[in-house]
A and B are shown apart, each in its own frame.
Chain A
Amino acid sequence: MFFHMVLERNMQLHPRHFGPHLRDKLVAKLMKDVEGTCSGRHGFVVAITGVDSIGKGLIRDGTGFVTFPVKYQCVVFRPFKGEILEAVVTMVNKMGFFAEAGPVQIFVSNHLIPDDMEFQSGDMPNYITSDGSVKIQKDSEVRLKIIGTRVDATEIFCIGTIKDDFLGVINEPGAAA
């Protein structure tokens, strides 16, 4: 789920930037430093939408760098255990399939794919029901439930399931044509 929230960060600025454009410099640096990063606590920072306040700077002893506490609003993406969302399948293999929902990768193991779907190898590997009515392959859109998340320093990785009511393929690539 995407959230809009206020976060705080201490920004260090080199003294060469001090002058009439100090605020602009600080905001530009904030965007460069923060956008696109990921933390386990807040998830992926997608975009900064505004800067609420910049506090008083504090000169660091010995270096001349100044630290400013900055409060900013941003859009973050954070997956939660138990959340249901839609995702695009990126890779299918005999262990299961990978899907992407925005910046996050979700793996659905073949144990968590309904039992009536069989793996088919080939140049377009897929999972297909015995009657051929439902097929999961690369670029399929699926609705899945997140059952576990793993967080490391720079990435969040999720495990999902489609073995539940109202989960599974939403539409197949090329189905509309």
Chain B
Amino acid sequence: MSGEEEENAAELKLGEEFLKAKCLMNCEVALILDRKYEQLQQMSDDPMNQISQVFEKSLQYVKRFSRYKNPDAVRQVREILSRNKLAEFELCVLGNLCPETVEEALAMVPSLKSKGRNHDDDAIEKMLHDLSLIKKFE
């Protein structure tokens, strides 16, 4: 498949299907899976029986790597990031990794600096600062 060869997240080449899909940050996935896990628990006494290994591993992973635990904070993070005209994928990488400096943010998301986009360093720095504030006051 030629599409497979072209794929490169650093240049936002994800294939048409995934560009249109909604990306989820780890903290959002944690909220969704937690809720689903509770539902399963109510339906049967032994939820582990019904749960696939993929589900279990994903839940453990997102819980370990969620930067924000509180649902309100998660909503705010998405709001702040979406003000900056980011692609869905870029938004989620920043939300997941929480880079501290502009340099780090650009290393994590090289497509921020690709041509035709007007993200100057000040704008990025402000965005990172806003994110760290949410973390602090969570």
Contacts and interface: CB of A to CB of B under 8 A. Distances in A.
Interface of A: 1-5, 35-38, 41-42, 44-47, 49, 75, 77-78, 80-86, 88, 100-103, 141, 143, 146, 151, 164-166
Contact of B33 (A3, A46, A78, A81): A46
Contact of B29 (A2, A80, A166): A2
**Chain A binding surface SS class:** strand
Nearest to B3: A41
B22 A86 contact: no
Q: 10 closest A-B pairs (Cβ-Cβ)?
A: A36-B52, A82-B9, A82-B10, A5-B21, A83-B9, A80-B9, A102-B61, A2-B24, A36-B54, A103-B54
Given A80-B14, A82-B10, A166-B99, A1 B58 contact: no
A75 B34 CA distance: 13
B48 interface: no
A163 B33 CA distance: 33
A1 B23 contact: yes
A84 to B, nearest CB: 5
Given A46-B33, A47-B36, A165-B107, A1 B57 contact: no
B42 interface: no
B55 A35 contact: yes
Nearest to B88: A3
B8 interface: yes
Nearest to B111: A82
A149 to B, nearest CB: 8
B54 A1 contact: no
B54 A4 contact: no
6 contacts: A2-B26, A2-B28, A5-B17, A80-B18, A84-B108, A102-B58
